[in-house]
Amino acid sequence: MRVIGLTALTFLLLPGAAEAGKKKKKGNDAPAAPGWHEVGGNGGSCYVPPDFSELSSGPKRMAWQEARDQVLSQWRGERNDGVSFDARGVEHFETVMLAVADRIEIVATQNLEQCRLAMKGGGMDAWAQWLKETPAVLTAGECPSPPMDYTLYDYLSINHEWQIPVSVCKGDRVNLHGTKADLFQVTEGGDWLDLRGDAAQTDVSGLPCNLEGCVRGQLIMRFTGSESGVVQILPVGIDREFRAPEHGRIEVMINDDSMSDNKWKVERGIEHHAGIEYKPAP
């Protein structure tokens, strides 16, 4: 009798105990542990990422790597579960994730939603479309190339149009410089010119650079905006500083409309070749 009374007293003192027992039986309400879990009735599985917000710096970085590897393995068809996406698209997505490590937190969560829908009979089309569109969403507004914080050196061809392309980011200040001692002709039998061009030939109608300050035979540059597509063609000569108004690309050429008859000067058997340098402006 004493034992029975004690048991009854215990439940009187803890009225929530019975209810707690009921809640434990509702285990389906608890979040799934990180890892692969079967979804739907066809045996397909989806990767459940951990709660990254609960992880400290070191474990979080390891979890990023693990989640990225697991998600990529399914996209590449390595799980043999019927899921396989375009290899080039997967490679591009991987590059985007590697650029900023914590992007995997967004990707893994959204990927789980897409996987669950597909495994429950929703088909693969929506998942594939998400995979195609998401890299652009993640990188919106970002420069697609590293900032122009290095020096590039190359040799100019006077027989080809736009050349020596270099990608720049919005706000990059670039100094374009060409060697002065190298001489060439832009017309057969004409004067020998350096990259400043022929100051006497100011009629630049029909030439790539036809602004005030442009002359025939001059080194010129073209900037093409990545998003707007807007093109600027400007004179360079021996030296010019340029500030990129948006992400884009810089190229150079000689201001001429007929490239085939251009030739470098040859002295003592050595042909001149003008060097071109791009570097960050001080």
257 neighbors 206 (Cβ within 8 angstroms):
yes
pLDDT at 171: 93
Sequence spans of domains, the chain: 29-138, 152-280
223 neighbors 248 (Cβ within 8 angstroms):
yes
Where the chain has pLDDT below 50, the residues are 1-29
CATH fold for domain 152-280 = Jelly Rolls (2.60.120)
Cβ burial of 186 (10 Å; 0-12, 13-18, 19+) is buried
Three-point CA angle 17, 23, 27, nearest 5°: 140
pLDDT at 30: 53
pLDDT digits (tens, 9 = 90+) for 152-189: 999 999 999 999 999 999 999 999 999 999 999 998 88
pLDDT digits (tens, 9 = 90+) for 234-258: 999 999 999 999 999 999 999 999 9
pLDDT at 160: 96
